[in-house]
């Protein structure tokens, strides 16, 4: 099965055929750096990180560009409120973004350009649009004329007449048409500005991405991605100004991830259900958040809640438990020259799911099948002496790690991850690790004294808190369920 992707432009899945065989150019809109990133940013960036990884996994040479919008109305407003420069504010939140993405395990894009480093490219692109009669200068501002681009709204499929009837011209704007959008904004007091043929000013939001994308990927490239909320106006306007300037198709495949809801409601600061990545990572391991995001298809809406994150933590724990069991068994078993096809079968199923528009939910389902197989095999009688079954576990273990790398999960040592997770869950019960050591000591004393009633009371008290005591050859351990 060849890779098929859902193209927002056509509204259907299409066979993926890059413009240049073996190579992929991909641009994903980055963040406007004026605040800490929220769960919606986490989803978009994890989704396209996995798409980047999978394209590389199946053999493509990928140039991945993800920008920083470091000049914008929101940045200027926030900087002025804090009494600092826009550069200082942007620098602060670029660093915060990089820290958040590193914790979520994102691979670095090929290029991470900043809008303010491409002012010359932006000015040149605006000039091309003016020369082609698709943009006009008005009072130091430059606007794109939507009437001179007949295919405007082809991505969002909106109705121009309906859009025009609801559009208004804001005070100070000198547009010919309420639907026209700014390519260049004349300087205002308290705002950063650069010299241009139309006087000092700064770029509009949309033109920044067009200029940066074309600088690194050319006038036409393969994939442009971002959240569903960017379809209009941002991506619609990118198409208009890019194709208006070049006369060429801008992007072959438009990919958009779905929205994040919080407890089945739209995330909003006014509703009090707005969560930054940093808020979430105070309670959950970064890999749990990443795993949670990947358990839904990227185009589907996803519901963020404590219950769903707890379920994701449980699911990820099942993987790490199986990996740990497999590792312990394989380390304790003699080497075998037996070969198993189980790994190839698992990888084929994984690829089939991912080739269907990057269906990570289905791909993870296949990985769970491998976990069930490992858990079944290691409990079978005579397993450690069965070379074929040992080879099957080894193949599944190695393939899980390999495919987990494509998804950006299973990156930790299983024993360390499970211990950290167990301690985090223990904290929620109100007990500490020292408390558990004391409970185990008291139970051992009770059993030694043949006070089995007291020993059972300790076990039952802990079980009521969701803590299971595990007696083994090396002594008693505990696990939070």
Q: Which helix (H) or strand (E) holds 26?
A: strand 23-28
Rounded Cα gap, residues 287 and 424, in angstroms = 14
- 37 known ligand binder: no
Q: At what angle do helices 387-407 and 360-378 cross, to 10 degrees?
A: 150
Q: How far is the CA of 346 from the CAs of 220, 238, 380, in angstroms?
A: 36, 40, 21
Domain boundary among 243, 266, 289: 266
Q: Assess if residue 230 is contained within a domain.
A: yes
CATH number at residue 334: 1.20.120.640
Q: Assess if residue 446 is contained within a domain.
A: yes
- 269 known ligand binder: yes
Do 203 and 332 belong to one domain? no
Do 257 and 327 belong to one domain? no
CATH number at residue 257: 3.40.50.620
- 398 known ligand binder: no
Rounded Cα gap, residues 428 and 422, in angstroms = 10
What is the pLDDT at residue 163?
82
Do 373 and 439 belong to one domain? no
99: three-class secondary structure by DSSP: helix
Q: Assess if residue 167 is contained within a domain.
A: yes
Six-digit token pair at 402?
A: 């390999």
Q: Assess if residue 187 is contained within a domain.
A: yes
Least Cα distance to 254 among 134, 155, 139 occurs for 155
Q: In the chain, which residues have pLDDT < 70?
A: 269-270, 336-337
Q: At what angle do helices 39-57 and 286-294 cross, to 10 degrees?
A: 70
Rounded Cα gap, residues 292 and 302, in angstroms = 9
Q: Assess if residue 89 is contained within a domain.
A: yes
Six-digit token pair at 302?
A: 């996803």
Rounded Cα gap, residues 29 and 208, in angstroms = 10
Do 193 and 129 belong to one domain? yes
85: three-class secondary structure by DSSP: coil
What is the pLDDT at residue 270?
67
Q: Assess if residue 155 is contained within a domain.
A: yes
Q: How many structural domains is the chain composed of? A: 3
Do 440 and 407 belong to one domain? no
Do 411 and 434 belong to one domain? no
What is the pLDDT at residue 428?
84
Rounded Cα gap, residues 218 and 223, in angstroms = 12
Structural domain boundaries, residue 53: 19-266
Q: Assess if residue 7 is contained within a domain.
A: no
Do 212 and 341 belong to one domain? no
Six-digit token pair at 191?
A: 């705002």
Alpha-helix residue ranges (DSSP H) falling in 58-204: 73-82, 86-103, 119-131, 160-166
Do 136 and 254 belong to one domain? yes
CB contact at 8 A, 79 and 17: no
What is the pLDDT at residue 273?
78
pTM above 0.85, yes or no: yes
Q: Assess if residue 5 is contained within a domain.
A: no
Do 85 and 150 belong to one domain? yes
Greatest Cα-to-Cα distance within the chain, rounded to the nearest angstrom: 94
Pairing state of beta strands 221-227 and 23-28?
parallel
Six-digit token pair at 313?
A: 């933590």
Domain boundary among 366, 392, 415: 415
The DSSP call for residue 172 is: T
Domain boundary among 232, 249, 266: 266
Do 262 and 385 belong to one domain? no
Do 234 and 339 belong to one domain? no
Do 202 and 77 belong to one domain? yes
């Amino acid at each position: 099965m060849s890779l098929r992707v859902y193209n927002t432009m056509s509204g259907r899945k299409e066979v993926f055929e890059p413009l240049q065989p073996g190579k992929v150019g991909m641009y994903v809109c980055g963040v406007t750096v004026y605040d800490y990133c929220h769960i919606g940013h986490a989803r978009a960036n994890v989704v396209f990180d996995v798409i980047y990884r999978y394209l590389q996994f199946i053999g493509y040479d990928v140039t991945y560009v993800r920008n920083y919008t470091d000049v914008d109305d929101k940045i200027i407003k926030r900087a002025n409120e804090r009494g600092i420069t826009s550069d200082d504010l942007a620098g602060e939140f670029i660093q915060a973004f990089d820290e958040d993405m590193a914790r979520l395990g994102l691979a670095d894009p090929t290029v991470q350009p900043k809008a303010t480093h491409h002012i010359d490219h932006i000015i040149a692109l605006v000039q091309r649009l003016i020369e082609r009669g698709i943009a006009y200068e008005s009072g130091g501002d430059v606007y794109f004329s939507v009437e001179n681009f007949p295919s405007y709204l082809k991505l969002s499929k909106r109705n121009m007449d309906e859009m025009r009837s609801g559009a208004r011209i804001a005070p100070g704007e000198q547009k010919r048409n309420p639907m026209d959008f700014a390519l260049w904004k004349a300087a205002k007091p308290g705002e950063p500005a650069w010299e241009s043929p139309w006087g000092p000013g700064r770029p509009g939001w949309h033109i920044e991405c067009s200029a940066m994308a074309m600088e690194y990927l050319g006038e036409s490239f393969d994939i442009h991605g971002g959240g569903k909320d960017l379809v209009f106006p941002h991506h619609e306007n990118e198409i208009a100004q890019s194709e208006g300037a070049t006369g060429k198709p801008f992007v072959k495949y438009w990919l958009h991830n779905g929205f994040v809801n919080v407890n089945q409601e739209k995330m909003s600061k006014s509703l009090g259900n707005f969560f930054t990545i940093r808020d979430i990572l105070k309670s959950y391991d970064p890999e749990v958040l990443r795993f949670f995001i990947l358990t839904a298809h990227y185009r589907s809406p996803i519901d963020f809640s404590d219950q769903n994150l707890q379920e994701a933590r449980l699911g990820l724990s099942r993987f790490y438990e199986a990996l740990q069991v497999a590792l312990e068994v394989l380390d304790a078993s003699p080497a075998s020259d037996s070969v198993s096809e189980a790994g190839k079968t698992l990888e084929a199923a994984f690829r089939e799911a991912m080739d269907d528009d990057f269906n990570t939910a289905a791909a993870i389902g296949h990985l769970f099948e491998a976990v069930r197989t490992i858990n079944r095999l290691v409990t079978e009688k005579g397993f450690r002496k069965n070379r074929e079954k040992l080879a099957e576990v080894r193949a599944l273990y190695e393939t899980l790690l390999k495919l987990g790398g494509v998804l950006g999960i299973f990156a930790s040592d299983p024993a360390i991850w499970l211990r950290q997770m167990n301690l985090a869950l223990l904290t929620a019960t109100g007990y500490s690790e020292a408390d558990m050591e004391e409970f185990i000591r008291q139970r051992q004393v009770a059993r030694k004294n043949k006070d089995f009633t007291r020993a059972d009371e300790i076990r039952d008290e802990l079980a009521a808190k969701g803590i299971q005591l595990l007696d083994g050859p090396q002594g008693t351990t505990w696990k939070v369920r």
